Structure 1
């Protein structure tokens, strides 16, 4: 999406629980094989004792407190998640809005699996641009990958899952100073790959009726055995290139611009980054590949927002410098956000 003017990103917050399970502990406890832990490259995964929406509220309060924005200034509360939020038939975004006291805001859930946080930024941007009176859009993500329903270390190939939440405020950059400026957000989808997370499974009547825990390795293996590996490899490479090229074009920035300081891939395992992301990104861009998340693992829907927060917290962008934040999620969908120092 080409933005007619940059939007502001402020209050960029990541709430990560204190308890950690180190890779060494996971190996010693038989939760993951030593060679797999080495390939993943995570030092530790955060393990929460709070429900995901509770963590989202904590991240959101930090975002509001750091900016001085009050709950009644929020026109929109967008919440995105990947995994179970604590109740079966229930609206987490309404809970978050209520807990914050944002009684005038419109709560909305954004579901695009791991790409949900980036998708929420796109939805929020579109709403703000078409309704300038909306005020601020609060965007939160939160996931808790708790056993027995989810195996955070061995539930998937190429990544392990950490608990945590993110929050940010999207707003007009003309009305208040911003932490970062959003210049473009683009998305590319490959829906023919949805079977990677379905496999050969029949449709169930209730959650986890087909399998007693989420087992993405099993569904991916079934998909690949049916000839899906070639389709995924081709679509992944083509989609990553397309979403980056479109984002740069939408933001009016050349791929070889010296102003493009970083490109930030999702918080996937080290081997996955080295094989699937780094070579393709280096072929397209001279920008430094900034790998983050070695101490968080994959944060589900929160990867993109957490990367934005890290760019801000580390003061990594000087005035006039840009970064591309790449996101990806099952389905499959790839998104890219072009941001700069404010």
Structure 2
């Protein structure tokens, strides 16, 4: 595992689509959210989408990002990340996103690595652009909607409540809000069964099975391997990954101003991230995370967009984005905030034409 250095790439622009917030306390009062979980998690609100599919939300987030982008030429690559159902069976949402937003005949691929899908897409996009001198920009969208009957956002998993929404980033050589100094991806497949029903494989989704039971999968893993083994692997995977990114960027982790980690609940945040990284909650985006919930694979980009919007970041600061997904995989990217005001609106993008394909 080695971080990628000297990418000469920028996070040109960031955009989001965030649906209305639902009170976590109301969910407790309605019997949907266990009060003990609420006390541990510390969420105030969770975002819930009632109608739009994840792919439709991704287009809205992408449109918001492109509206403030410096790069206005063709987009060489489109990647769409997600962790759950995208609204259609046997379908390619990435090509839908490309058709709706930028057109062209360049590649459009879906990235599925659970909650690490967005960050994994960032690594893949950076490598794609770096591999070809003539490649100038890549658009990444990430979106999820965690709805019944397949997923119970309040109870399917422990230590986290799942929210709906989308985020998008345009990666380019043109400049932007932050320079990408280094990116690293790694995995520990020995943890794969933590998120799997080890008793069976199915030929197709079973609608009669009820909501996904990630709690049950994890409980079975813990009975077999034990919590100490889980914690040791998670901490080692996280520390090794971020150390590689910092080393490639030639930046000491002590000099990192902000750590944008997944929007897990407060107790899980403490033992999975704050303790192994040796940081305080004030260096994270918890103040925003507790107001929106866990957006699947979009947390890091959404939190970055919030900090940019509120003017929290200043030129020269270092921001470490950390993605973690069941499987288990980690991707981290170290950014340096660039000087200059956030642009208001970019020139209109060239019109594109749709087409047919396979």
For normalisation by structure 2, the TM-score amounts to: 0.88
Aligned twin of 1:152: 153
Equivalent position to 2:195, from 187, 194, 197: 197
Aligned twin of 1:296: 292
Equivalent position to 1:220, from 218, 221, 243: 218
Q: State the Cα deviation string for residues 223-243 of structure 1 (Å, max 9, x = none).
A: 111224332111011111111
Task: Give me the whole-angstrom Cα distance separating, in 1, the residues matched to 2:47 and 2:314.
Answer: 30
Q: CA deviation at 1:77?
A: 0.6
Alpha-carbon contact 1:199-1:220 (below 8 Å) kept:
no
Alpha-carbon contact 2:74-2:102 (below 8 Å) kept:
no
Aligned twin of 2:238: 240
Give structure 2 stretches of 5+ with no counterpart.
Answer: 339-358
Q: State the Cα deviation string for residues 105-152 of structure 1 (Å, max 9, x = none).
A: 311111111001000000000010111222210000000001111100
Aligned twin of 1:52: 54
Task: Give me the whole-angstrom Cα distance separating, in 1, the residues matched to 2:228 and 2:58.
Answer: 38
Q: State the Cα deviation string for residues 246-267 of structure 1 (Å, max 9, x = none).
A: 111010112333xx21222211
Q: State the Cα deviation string for residues 152-192 of structure 1 (Å, max 9, x = none).
A: 011101100000000110011xxx33111111111221101
Alpha-carbon contact 1:77-1:108 (below 8 Å) kept:
yes
Task: Give me the whole-angstrom Cα distance separating, in 1, the residues matched to 2:260 and 2:126.
Answer: 21
Alpha-carbon contact 2:7-2:126 (below 8 Å) kept:
no
Equivalent position to 1:14, from 13, 16, 22: 16
Q: CA deviation at 1:64?
A: 1.1
Alpha-carbon contact 2:114-2:326 (below 8 Å) kept:
yes
1:52–1:218 CA distance, 2 compared to 1 (3 A)? same
Aligned positions of 1:1-342 closer than 5 A: 1-18=3-20, 20-48=21-49, 49-67=51-69, 69-70=71-72, 73-172=74-173, 176-208=174-206, 211-257=209-255, 260-282=256-278, 288-291=283-286, 292-342=288-338
Task: Give the 3-state SS of the residue equivalent to 1:304 in structure 2.
Answer: helix
Alpha-carbon contact 1:114-1:328 (below 8 Å) kept:
yes
Alpha-carbon contact 2:152-2:212 (below 8 Å) kept:
yes
Q: CA deviation at 1:68?
A: 5.9
Pairwise CA RMSD of aligned residues? 1.9
Alpha-carbon contact 1:13-1:167 (below 8 Å) kept:
yes
Task: Give me the whole-angstrom Cα distance separating, in 2, the residues matched to 1:44 and 1:300.
Answer: 15
Task: Give me the whole-angstrom Cα distance separating, in 2, the residues matched to 1:234 and 1:336.
Answer: 19
Q: CA deviation at 1:318?
A: 2.0
Q: CA deviation at 1:295?
A: 1.4
Paired residues, number: 334
Alpha-carbon contact 1:325-1:336 (below 8 Å) kept:
yes
1:236–1:268 CA distance, 2 compared to 1 (3 A)? same
Q: State the Cα deviation string for residues 293-326 of structure 1 (Å, max 9, x = none).
A: 1111111111222233233223333222111121
Task: Give the 3-state SS of the residue equivalent to 2:263 in structure 1.
Answer: coil
Give structure 1 stretches of 5+ with no counterpart.
Answer: none
Alpha-carbon contact 1:8-1:179 (below 8 Å) kept:
yes
